[in-house]
């Protein structure tokens, strides 16, 4: 059985960024820039004041102190939005408000707090360094400078920066269209009466929530009964509109598990089935090229198919471990170095060797630092354990004991951040 690392690298190899789309400023948040942004003009565009104060020539006020202020003639006020044409002459000063253009001849701005105004004159109580409190033209960016590289996430400061450069739109990678197919005769939607032997269907809901939290709206959720015909037909329809198809259930070795057979009939190329992890062992991954699959849509090219297990915890963890990295790469984000802080284990953990376990756990803190406490309810059908977890403890494939008090790496669980 292949390892988690091998399986993940196969998924990433098959995941390529989608095409780019131009969006207006207010629709960019959460997208990933598809091209570098170059400064259309200098920023700041003109010399302006960082404070409310008085523009001076340095030599005029070199001797100024609070005990012996220097008196300068006030020749006017420039406020933000004015375009001054005056030039400051020796022996005079001009009031310049924050963000207002600094007129020629001004070498520094003395903060209003270090001045006193007296009938047409200003007593300056402090000297100043050349350039003090002036925000110089192009000090942040020169025209044509690279302001932002490609492949970075559009966050609120990115939106603000684009706006401050006058950009009304920008190109981001298209977000993947994801379709979900849940399989199972036993499933009933929450809110409906539950016949004997049935259970409430949770996978479509948890997956939709997981997708939304990452900024991807699922295009459709389909339900299939446990027959080859139903699973095949439902997957076929779902693939008509999706870059990524996620199925849940029906992918193990049971006699009513049809996802793999349906995938074969749909000419989905299998890359792996079964990974040495727990939970989530039966996870399937395949791809379909449009040239092979029939429908021709050159923009999409290759579709990814994740056959996730049926157990609700296994679904979400395999989503987290395989689908989320694929979504990131398809959106143009470079993989981040894994952030694995260490924490002190608060109880023994035991298992059989053979699979990498992802133990659901909660972080805490005590006098010695970070602690980690395995959650109760570790079964792969027990969402209760995952619902209260904020991290995973990777319990090595060939390990069988992790002792209380030992320091272990942990994987923080973050459903929202990419």
- Cβ-based neighbour number of residue 355 at 10 Å: 21
Handedness of CA 239, 241, 244, 249 (dihedral sign): negative
> What are the structure tokens assigned to 414, written together?
């973050």
**Other Cβ atoms closer than 10 A to 68:** 9
Distance CA 357, CA 330 (A): 27
User: Residue-wise over 302-341: b if at least 16 C-beta within 10 A, else e?
Assistant: bbbbbbbbbbbbbbbbbbbbbbbbbbbbbbbbeeeeeeee
In the complex with Mg ion, which residue's Cβ is closer, 69 or 307? 307
Q: Which of 37, 187, 245, 343 binds ligand AMP (CB under 6 A)?
A: 187
Residue 125 contact, options Mg ion, ligand AMP, none, Cβ 5-8 Å cut-off depending on partner type: none
Provide, rounded to whole angstroms, the least separation between the CB of residue 7 and Mg ion.
22
Name the closest residue to ligand AMP (Cβ).
Answer: 310
Closest by alpha carbon to 95, among 75, 81, 125, 80? 75
Nearer to ligand AMP, 303 or 380 (CB): 380
Residues touching ligand AMP: how many (CB under 6 A)? 18
| Binder among 60, 201, 243, 357 for ligand AMP (CB under 6 A) | 201
Q: How far is the CB of 184 from ligand AMP (least distance, A)?
A: 4
- CB burial of residue 241 (10 Å; 0-12, 13-18, 19+): middle
Q: Please state the closest distance from residue 254 (CB atom) to Mg ion, in A.
A: 7
By beta-carbon proximity to ligand AMP, the closer residue of 186 and 233 is: 186
* Strands 134-135 and 48-49, bridge-based pairing: antiparallel
Annotate 51-113 with DSSP letters as a single string: SSEEEE-GGGGTT--SSS-EEEEEEEEE-TT-----BPPTTEEEEE-TTPBPPBT--EEEEGG
Q: Which is nearer to ligand AMP, 120 or 197 (CB)?
A: 197
Told to check if 184 binds ligand AMP by CB under 6 A, we report: yes
| 250 near ligand AMP (CB under 6 A) | yes
Q: Give yes or no for residue 184 binding Mg ion (CB under 5 A).
A: yes
Contacting ligand AMP (CB under 6 A), which of 115, 133, 311, 331? 311
Element (H, E) at 131: none
307 binds ligand AMP (CB under 6 A): no
**Which does residue 202 bind out of Mg ion, ligand AMP, none, counting CB within 5 to 8 angstroms by kind?**
ligand AMP
Longest pairwise C-alpha distance within the chain:
96
Q: In the stretch 88-127, what mask flags binding to ligand AMP with x, by CB under 6 A?
A: ----------------------------------------
CA 124 – CA 121 distance, rounded (Å): 10
Among the listed residues 15, 247, 252, 378, the single contact to ligand AMP using CB under 6 A:
252
Binder to ligand AMP among 14, 115, 127, 203 (CB under 6 A)?
203
Q: Which of residues 266-325 bind Mg ion (CB under 5 A)?
A: 310
Q: Pick from 309, 332, 374, 385: which binds ligand AMP (CB under 6 A)? A: 309
Nearer residue to ligand AMP within complex by CB, 184 or 218? 184
Q: Are 200 and 188 in contact (CB under 8 A)?
A: yes
Structure tokens at 108: 């520094």
Cα angle, residue 259 at apex, residues 255 and 264 outer, rounded to 5°:
110
Question: Do residues 124 and 64 touch, judged by C-beta distance below 8 A?
Answer: yes
Q: Which residues pair with 290 in a beta bridge?
A: none
Which region among 39-47, 88-96, 182-190, 335-343 touches Mg ion (by CB under 5 A)?
182-190
Q: Is 248 in the site for ligand AMP (CB under 6 A)?
A: yes
Give least dist CB 81 to ligand AMP, A: 59
Give the residue closest to Mg ion by C-beta: 249
Among 15, 19, 17, 34, CA closest to 326: 15
Nearer to ligand AMP, 148 or 187 (CB): 187
Contact pick of 84, 176, 249, 282 for Mg ion (by CB under 5 A): 249
Under a CB-based contact definition with an 8 Å cutoff, are residues 392 and 402 in contact? no
Q: Which residues of this protein are in contact with ligand AMP, per CB under 6 A?
A: 182, 184, 186-187, 199, 201-203, 248-250, 252, 254, 309-312, 381
Residues that bind Mg ion (CB under 5 A): 184, 249-250, 310
């Amino acid at each position: 059985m292949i390892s988690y690392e091998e399986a993940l690298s196969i998924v990433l190899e098959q995941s390529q960024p989608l095409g780019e789309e131009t969006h207006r400023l207010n629709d960019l948040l959460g997208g990933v820039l598809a091209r570098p942004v170059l400064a259309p003009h200098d920023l700041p565009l003109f010399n302006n004041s960082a404070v409310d104060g008085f523009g001076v020539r340095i030599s005029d006020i070199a001797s100024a102190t609070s005990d012996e202020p220097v008196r300068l003639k006030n020749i006017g006020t420039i406020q933000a939005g004015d375009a001054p044409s005056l030039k400051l002459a020796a022996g005079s000063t001009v009031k310049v408000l924050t963000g207002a253009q600094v007129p020629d001849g001004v070498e520094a701005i003395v903060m209003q707090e270090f001045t006193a105004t007296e009938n047409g004159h200003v007593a300056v109580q402090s000297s100043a360094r050349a350039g003090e409190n002036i925000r110089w033209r192009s000090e942040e960016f020169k025209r044509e400078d690279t302001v932002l590289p490609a492949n970075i996430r559009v966050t609120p400061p990115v939106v603000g920066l684009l706006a401050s450069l006058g950009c009304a739109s920008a190109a981001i990678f298209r977000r993947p269209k994801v379709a979900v197919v849940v399989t199972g005769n036993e499933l009933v939607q929450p809110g409906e009466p539950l016949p004997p032997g049935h259970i409430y269907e949770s996978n479509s809901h948890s997956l939709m929530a997981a997708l939304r939290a990452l900024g991807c709206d699922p295009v459709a959720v389909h339900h299939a009964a446990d027959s080859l015909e139903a699973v095949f037909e439902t997957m076929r329809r779902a693939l008509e509109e999706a870059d990524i198809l996620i199925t849940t259930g029906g992918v193990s070795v049971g006699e009513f598990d049809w996802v793999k057979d349906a995938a074969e009939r749909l000419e989905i190329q299998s890359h792996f089935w079964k990974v040495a992890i727990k939970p989530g062992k039966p996870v399937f991954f395949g791809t379909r090229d449009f040239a092979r699959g029939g429908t021709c849509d050159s923009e999409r090219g290759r579709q990814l198919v994740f056959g996730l297990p049926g157990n609700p915890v296994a679904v979400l963890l395999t989503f987290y471990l395989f689908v989320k990295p694929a979504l990131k790469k398809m959106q143009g984000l470079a993989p981040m170095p894994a952030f694995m802080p260490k924490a002190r284990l608060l109880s023994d953990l035991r298992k059989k060797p053979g699979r990498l376990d992802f133990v659901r756990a909660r972080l805490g803190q005590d006098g010695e630092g970070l602690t980690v406490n395995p959650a109760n309810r570790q079964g792969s059908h027990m969402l209760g354990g995952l619902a209260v977890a904020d991290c995973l403890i990777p319990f090595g494939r060939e390990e069988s004991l992790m002792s209380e008090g030992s320091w272990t790496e942990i994987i923080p669980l973050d459903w929202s951040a990419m």
